[in-house]
Amino acid sequence: MSVETESGKPRLRVAPGEQVKFLDSEASVVTVTATVMDGPVVRWYRTLAAAELGREYMSASRNGVLVREYLHTVPEAELDAAQAAHRALSASPRADVRDLATHRRDGLSGPLVPVVRPAEAHR
């Protein structure tokens, strides 16, 4: 995972074939949402049910990283990713951090569905 500059705008890149794995037992659900006031916000949830209810335990935006749990319970890789997202978004509010997303909404208020990346689509 790296922060690159593309057309003068930072982009958080996950290399092809590189798997962003956050938790050992069950992967976190990560969404990227565009907001009116803060631009893109990356949110981490422990489960799909928590994501559907909007109960994130950590989020990252241009304003910073907000952790809603004891810090020692947050896996280091997730905290590193949140800090990288914050750095990219604070450098440019239009930074592309979509590579962090594991799920997206199917439509405006539809269910969360897994993000399929090109490398995964051909398996």
Q: What H or E segment, with its residue span, contains residue 6?
A: strand 2-6
3 state DSSP class of 9: strand
pLDDT score for 50: 92
pTM over 0.85: no
pLDDT score for 24: 42
Instruction: Work out the pLDDT band at 23, boundaries 50, 70, 90.
Output: very low
d(CA 106, CA 109): 7
d(CA 84, CA 102): 16
Q: How far is CA 29 from CA 2, 10, 49, 102, in A?
A: 20, 23, 9, 6
Query: Residue 32: which of 94, 91, 79 has the closest Cα?
Result: 94
Type of residue numbered 21: K
d(CA 20, CA 47): 16
Whether residue 89 has pLDDT greater than 70: yes
Instruction: Work out the pLDDT band at 25, boundaries 50, 70, 90.
Output: very low
Tell me which DSSP letter residue 96 carries: B
